[in-house]
Amino acid sequence: MRLCLWSLVVFSQATVCLTTVASEDRFEIKVSRDIEFAKLDDVSLKLDLYQPVGAEAPPLVVWVHGGAWRAGSKDSMPLAALVERGYAIASVDYRLSPVAKFPAQVHDCKAAIRFLRANARLYGYDASKIGIAGSSAGGHLVAEIGVTNGHPKLEGTVGEHPGQSSSVQAIVDYYGPTNFLTILKQSTPHGLSVRVPALQLLLGSQPDENAALAKLASPVFHVDKSDPPLLMIHGDYDPQVPINQSHELHGRYKALGLPAHLEVIHGGAHGGPAFYDQARIDLVDQFLTTHLREADAGGKTSN
């Protein structure tokens, strides 16, 4: 186990630097907070940018937080260990479901990706190949974003960079829902107590009341051969999002011969330290290295 001692140095109101003292060489982490990437009327959408100090043009990963689409914030970003290893990570906020219904959340995250591409030279990361990662509701959103590049109903018009691509070249989905037409049937009573009101807020109805909207919001119905590589991490004792949700998306990928891996955490529930321990960080690092660092400029890799 690597022991770390964190120190915090404030450079400005918006920028801090996290320094790691460790038994291995790691990059220091510079954090630039509250960067506005879009504005809708009086709503300012912001992101936090975590950068490895001294890394030249590091690959970029966009982090999307969970919280049943109705809570949570960009402040919760559990992948600092990847920044230490040389990745830049942008943790983004999006309009929550009490404020805006689906597909606003997808529109906002895609706007963040376009902003990040447009400003790559300013901030110094490599935006030709972008990974996207998220947990729970954020896992759903990153899968949805990853498999819907160019979708006319899901791109949206948020932000000031419509000419930039919102495509991503790798997806890391931590225990996210993937099929709203099956999730309630698969859920435990506890899961239903969380998921039914959350879906009502997100969709404005239950999935069986508006099947077309539920399908639009479900990644499994968008998968095609152009989609980027996928890594999923899910606990087989998850009481909120049934592991069958990840099995469904994994099955769609494998049926098309697309690169996909489902990492099952045996005994794992809905999140927790086991999802971000060294073994899983190594797994995510290897996946991103293959599909971001070693891939060609188009983001394509061999199966």
Answer whether 148's CB lies under 8 Å from 154's CB.
Answer: yes
* 4 has pLDDT over 50: no
User: Does the pLDDT of residue 1 top 50, yes or no?
Assistant: no
pLDDT number for residue 296: 52
Q: Quote the pLDDT of residue 66.
A: 98
Q: How far apart are CA 114 and CA 107, in angstroms?
A: 11
Residue 302, domain member (yes or no): no
pLDDT higher than threshold 70 for residue 112: yes
Whole-model pTM?
Answer: 0.90
Report helix, strand or coil for 281.
Answer: helix
Question: 3-state class of 180 per DSSP?
Answer: coil
pLDDT of residue 25: 78
| Domain containing residue 180 | 5-293
**Residues 88-98 pLDDT 10s:** 999 999 999 99
* CATH code of the domain covering residue 158: 3.40.50.1820
Q: What's the number of domains the chain is made of? A: 1
CB 121 within 8 A of CB 164: no
State the burial class of residue 19 (Cβ atoms within 10 Å of its Cβ: 0-12, 13-18, 19+): middle
Is residue 7 predicted with pLDDT exceeding 60?
no
Assigned domain for 303 exists: no
Q: From residue 91, give the alpha-carbon distance in Å to each of 83, 105, 247, 282.
A: 12, 14, 27, 20
- 163 vs 49: CA distance, rounded Å: 22
Q: Is residue 298 part of a domain?
A: no
pLDDT at 58 exceeding the cut of 90: yes
What is the C-alpha separation between 58 and 61, in angstroms, rounded? 10
- Compute the half-sphere exposure of residue 58: CA atoms within 13 Å on the CB side of its CA: 25
248 or 3, greater pLDDT:
248
User: pLDDT tens-digit profile of 250-268?
Assistant: 999 999 999 999 999 999 9
- Cβ–Cβ < 8 Å for 260, 232: yes
Location of structure tokens 């098309």? 256
Q: Is 199 helix (H, G, I), strand (E, B) or coil?
A: helix
Question: Could you give the CA distance from residue 192 to residue 210 in angstroms, rounded to a whole number?
Answer: 18
Asked if residue 299 has pLDDT above 90, the reply is no
- Region 213-222: mean pLDDT is 98
Take residue 142 and report the two structure tokens written for it: 């990153």
Distance CA 100, CA 40 (A): 11
Strands 59-64 and 43-52, how do they pair?
Answer: unpaired
pLDDT band at 12 (very low <50, low <70, confident <90, very high): very low
CA pair distance 268, 234, nearest whole angstrom = 7
Tokens 């188009």, residue? Answer: 298
Q: Bigger pLDDT: 294 or 284?
A: 284
Mapping DSSP to helix (H, G, I), strand (E, B) and coil, where does residue 92 land? strand
Q: Phi and psi dihedrals of 10, rounded to 5?
A: -90, 120
Amino acid at 138: G
Mean pLDDT within 140-151: 98
Percent of the chain residues past pLDDT 70, beyond the cut: 89
Give me the chain's average pLDDT, please: 91
Strand partners, 21: 5
pLDDT band, very low/low/confident/very high, at 294 (cuts 50, 70, 90) = confident
Q: Give the number of C-alpha atoms closer than 13 A to the C-alpha of residue 157, restricted to the C-beta side.
A: 0
Q: What is the mean pLDDT of residues 129-139?
A: 97
**pLDDT at res. 24:** 62
